[in-house]
Chain A
Amino acid sequence: METYSDVICPFCGCLCDDIEITVENNKVVKTKNSCAISNSKFMKNDWGRIVSSTIDGKHTPYEKAVEEATNILSSARRPLIYGLSKTDNEAIREAVHLAELVGGVIDSTTTVCHGASIIAMQNTGVSTTTMGEVKNRADLIVFWGSNPAEAHPRHFQRYSVTPKGMYTPNGRKGRFIVVVDVRETRSSKMADQFIRINPNSDFDILQALRALVRGQKLSAGEVGGVRIDILEELADRMKKAKVGCVFYGLGLNQSESRHMNVDALYSLVSDLNHYTKFVTEPMRGCFNVTGANMVTTWQTGYPFAVDFSRGYPRYNPGEYTAVDLLARKEVDAALIMGSDPASTFPLAASHYLSKIPVVTLERKETPTSMLSKVVIPVATSGIETGGTAYRMDQVPLKLRKVVDPPKGVFSDAVVLGHIIQRIKALEVDSV
């Protein structure tokens, strides 16, 4: 029996790095400090694993599956490489290389998640921080369209609500917590103030707050279902905070007007820096979606939706984003890793995915793996392999390997490396 301490949890964007894992006979038998989701991911790591490669659902040797994957990708005119968010940077690097090599398109789950936030950042910039600053200094926390109590269970405890830091010795008591949402949630129940807003009114409210922060008087009696005096009070509270932080989620950027909502939030937060210190942070979901953005950015200049069909990287959300490419039937093959688009994409997109040859790198059976022509099993990133992941605030951490992968199963990076080798060999042969 072995115990590993300070293990990093590879589930959500919080990347809690204080997990204790006990392993017996290459199986996780106990976890400590983990939330319910994390515990389940570690304990059930070996449940329902795919252990053998398949082509058209039939078991096949690994080499054959790699060969078939190579054929599919190299003969496609415009393959899509999609996912990336639940694997490590080492694999993402290889995925970008592969996309470049085959002249395809690479996109990550950002596209259906915080892609809108990145577009807003490209419009206005953003004032942000690493989480330790929030823990040490922030006395006003706003959760906007996010519900960490259910989606990021230890966020409150580790970073935003209860921790005691250098200038926040009273922890929870020293902080004022506001939740802005369209409905009550488990997060709103613990807040000092819950502001219920009408669905799709975020933009109006944020712009009203901007005006109020600048000291303008508004003639409207209410905005987006919120009485103006409540907004006035919030604006005032924001200006008077020593350090404030807005953690926002998909409730903001997936409601009507999408990136414009985030644009308004970022502008509000920037404006507030004329009065005090204010920062904001998106609540990223998958454990390494931030890493996917980082790696594609340093290798290609762009965070997601990158097209290599001209031999150089091009970026255009809406044109090179996975959902749009599939719905418009512009790609003719796909490699999926670290994601399950068949269950998360709109019907038109996932329907078309079932019509083209798909190679999937997966650990467990998913709707995507079921519609794939080739399935190659991979190791669990962060449990069965090490590698690097970036927390939602871009802090890079080295994941820890605690158990061995099933026999004959490689990491995402190794499998992609094998495919790249084969494709390069094909190119040499054809010269």
Chain B
Amino acid sequence: MPNATDTMPGARTYGLLGYPADLATHAGRVGPLPLPARADRDWGGALIAALEASGLTGRGGAGFPAAIKATAARGKGRGGTIVVNAMEGEPASDKDALLMIRAPHLILDGAQLLAAVSGARSVVVCVPEGRDHVAAAAARAVAERTAARWAPVVETVVRPPDRFVAGEESALVGWIEGGQSLPAFRPDKSVPLRIGRKGALVHNAETLAHVAVIARGGPEAFRSRGLPEDPGTSLVTLSGAVSQPGVVEVDRGTPLIDIVSRATPLGPPQALLVGGYAGAWVAPEHFSTPYASLSLRAIGATAGVGVVVVLGHEACGISETARLAHYLAGQSAGQCGPCVYGLPAIADDLARLAAGHVDPGLPARLDRRLSEVEGRGACRHPDGAVSVVRSALRVFATDVHVHSRGTPCVSWDRPTQLRFPAPPVQVAS
């Protein structure tokens, strides 16, 4: 994990990363879990109202309003499970891991509060295999809470496989239930997920931390940061051509260029990859775009999983996107034909383009493949790949033009500015 840059000055009133990691200090600072008195039937409604007034949206990628999710689940999760999603399958994201290490009790408090709203009887924290330091932090927090009787419903830490799609909610719930870590085909996403016969609600770790702050401090604390129409803060992982990669907490609405300046770019960025590996490239003319859902959507981007990668001028966006597409193709769960065959074909087209192959049919073929693959997976993995490739063709149109006339990319052999997990070490048998 890279060094985390600290929260910005003035972030003291609302800064997730500034919360204490141990329970005694946490309890001293924030007080007890604000759970309902036994007779208080309206408590769940009051918490949902606070979430609604806060305007909190999910921080795991989809950006769904937290109050709507909690309302739909109210009372329906009886006996069920709150799943804390700290899978963070994006190689360029560290925010949920860092939050789990820095402020695990905030995350777990949020899970307990939503368990009280939905009637869930257990909290299951998911940290992937391999990230032992994160799982250890979660387990330490759970042990502290159990010993101090701080956890009204039982909390456990589980270790699903470390794969890009393992954190997709149906894959996660399927794995917890004892099945394989594979996304399910769900034509109607409003049908709740289940573990056995009981409801399972999956929430991103950072979202739960915000829930815990809002439950104690009210919606005003959250709304004191960010924009009226897109309030609060978000954790963002910065990497790429920067001298200080790491996680920062930013106000929603902060201009993109101000966010990346906190990681000290090595030079003027050529482009930014915003939202993660399933996000979109953003060109310099849009660097002042506010980091907020509607503003990002207007330029074809999304806040996604809170990742911003800085692309330096010496890199080629097409080469980098070819590597990205190749990585995403390799991370397919392998269930759906359009993803299994389409993503490698798209990655090959990009690689041929970057290598300067003169192939007059390539642009039309790539365009058709992108259109045909989109929307045809059980999960949205292929759609994310299509989104990032389409944005590359738009933002790096000049490079596309040059390469398609036979000039290979000069930086193909240079190391990538993106982060990819090291391939598993092969042990000779």
The reply to whether chain A is a binding partner of chain B is: no
B residues touching A (Cβ–Cβ < 8 Å)? none
